[in-house]
Amino acid sequence: MEAAVARGRLEQMLAELEESARVLQRGGGDSGELTSIDQHPADSGTNLADADREEASIEILHAQQERVQEALARVDAGTYGRCVDCGSELPDERLEARPEAARCVNCQQRAEAVR
């Protein structure tokens, strides 16, 4: 993939992730949410689950933002499109599906197995 194309896509992704994070952190504009948990401990199950999900989503968004920023750094460094572990070129279809991908499929599987 062309570096300029990759950069454009990554910057677009970053903008969308930032917007999603803003929306999530606003909590959909419902400012009374925390208060209702305190006032109705018996009903707190769903509310807490929602809060947990929200927190998890923000964490996922931040992790994704980091990956996209790292990918942009690789575009700058001229190493974009190469696996950060083994240095082999990533196939275009992988970069089409996941422009922020840092590893080839093999190394990604190995990295995830370690975790």
Query: 13-50 burial string, b = 16+ CB within 10 Å, else e?
Result: bbeebeebbeebeeeeeeeeeeeebeeeeeeeeebeee
- Tell me the DSSP string of 10-21: HHHHHHHHHHHH
Q: Should residue 75 be labelled a site residue for Zn ion when binding is judged by CB under 5 A?
A: no
Among residues 21, 85, 91, 98, the one that binds Zn ion under rule CB under 5 A: 85
Among residues 61, 83, 90, 102, the one that binds Zn ion under rule CB under 5 A: 83
Q: Should residue 86 be labelled a site residue for Zn ion when binding is judged by CB under 5 A?
A: yes
Measured from the CB atom, the residue of 13 and 103 that comes closer to Zn ion is: 103
Kindly list the residues in this chain that would bind Zn ion in the complex (CB under 5 A). Answer: 83, 85-86, 104, 107
